[in-house]
């Protein structure tokens, strides 16, 4: 840890001991958490007095990524709040970077988006030749489900309840019933449309075994698929790479759309978020893309 950070932490330690009268064990706990944050900042070439809100968020996100429990993250955030409140009162900083940082209990830790190549690998994994007509029908169904999960960003509960009458393949969309039984129209790409058409023409008939069902994706005998069965299928399809879930595909759909320039309102409509604030978790993707484009095209971006 550099000298500047050591001096600031030393003053804060004395403040806790002398003015606050805290026990040595409590002071040591504060120091440990703050040292960890200081080292995190130094890797970003910043000092404690230079921290901004995005640095605090990045630090907490890193803790979550390393499976640190909510209670521990909350304690570290509390230490940072006390520290920066002290610096603000002592007029060592002008802005508190911990302001408006949500409690870890309110955070939603989303899975990382898959790369396009990883999704292609999953789709290929369920297309491999099968040794029976039934196995081939299941593979055709699973391929269509993967295409729909990624193309439309639907939740697994929405996927298993899609009906044949909800499909409008000639118009390129599907009617989805989301939370609170709210309906929304979601566009489908050409790959998803073709895969679903092929499944309806062949695989679905083989699975129905002469029975009738209004549900699009059926199990053997025409019954409704369970959420667990879809989760198992997605996990098996991703076995050769990073393990994925249906929600990973939903997250990947939104991430790739924003990364390619889609506005948040469009993504909100497709995902069925009631509040735009839920969709705003994807703004970091848009910001990363803006920075990349700026550095590449602005004539003064690379000047020192």
Query: Which positions are catalytic?
Result: 155, 179, 247, 250, 273, 282
Q: Are 34 and 9 in contact (CB under 8 A)?
A: yes
SS (H, E, C) 39-90: HHHHHCCCCHHHCCHHHHHHHHHHHHHCCCCHHHHHHHHHHHHHHHHHHHHC
> For residues 76 and 79, what is the distance between their CA atoms, to the nearest angstrom?
5
Q: H helices of 203-282, where? A: 204-208, 227-237, 246-259, 264-271, 276-279
> Is the alpha carbon torsion for 100, 104, 106, 111 positive or negative?
positive
Residue 91: HSE in the Cβ half-sphere, 13 Å Cα cutoff? 0
Question: What's the Rg (C-alpha) of the chain?
Answer: 25
Tokens representing 175 are 């009617």
**End-to-end CA gap in the chain:** 27
């Amino acid at each position: 840890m550099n000298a500047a950070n050591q001096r600031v932490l030393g003053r804060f330690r004395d403040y806790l001991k002398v003015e606050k009268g805290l026990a040595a064990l409590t002071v040591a706990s504060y120091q440990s958490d703050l040292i960890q944050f200081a080292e995190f900042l130094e890797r970003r070439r910043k000092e404690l007095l230079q921290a901004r809100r995005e640095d605090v968020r990045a630090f907490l996100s890193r803790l979550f990524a390393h499976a640190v429990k909510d209670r521990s993250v909350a304690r570290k955030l509390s230490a940072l709040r006390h520290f920066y409140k002290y610096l603000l009162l002592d007029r060592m900083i002008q802005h508190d970077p911990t302001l408006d940082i949500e409690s870890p209990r309110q955070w939603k830790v989303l899975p990382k988006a898959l790369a396009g190549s990883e999704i292609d690998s999953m789709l290929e994994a369920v297309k491999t030749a099968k040794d029976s007509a039934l196995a081939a029908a299941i593979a055709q169904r699973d391929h269509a489900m993967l295409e729909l999960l990624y193309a439309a960003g639907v939740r697994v509960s929405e996927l298993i309840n899609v009906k044949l009458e909800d499909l409008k393949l000639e118009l390129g969309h599907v009617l989805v019933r989301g939370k609170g039984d709210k309906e929304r129209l979601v566009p489908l790409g050409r790959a998803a449309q073709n895969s679903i058409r092929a499944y309806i023409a062949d695989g679905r008939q083989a699975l129905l075994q002469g029975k009738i069902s209004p549900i699009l994706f059926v199990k053997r005998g025409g019954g409704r698929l369970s959420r667990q069965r879809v989760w198992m299928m997605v996990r098996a399809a991703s076995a050769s790479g990073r393990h994925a879930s249906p929600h990973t595909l939903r997250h990947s759909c939104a991430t790739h759309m924003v990364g390619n320039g889609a506005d948040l309102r469009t993504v909100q409509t497709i995902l069925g978020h009631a509040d735009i604030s839920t969709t705003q978790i994807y703004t970091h993707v848009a910001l990363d893309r803006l920075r990349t484009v700026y550095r590449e095209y602005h004539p003064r971006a690379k000047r020192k």
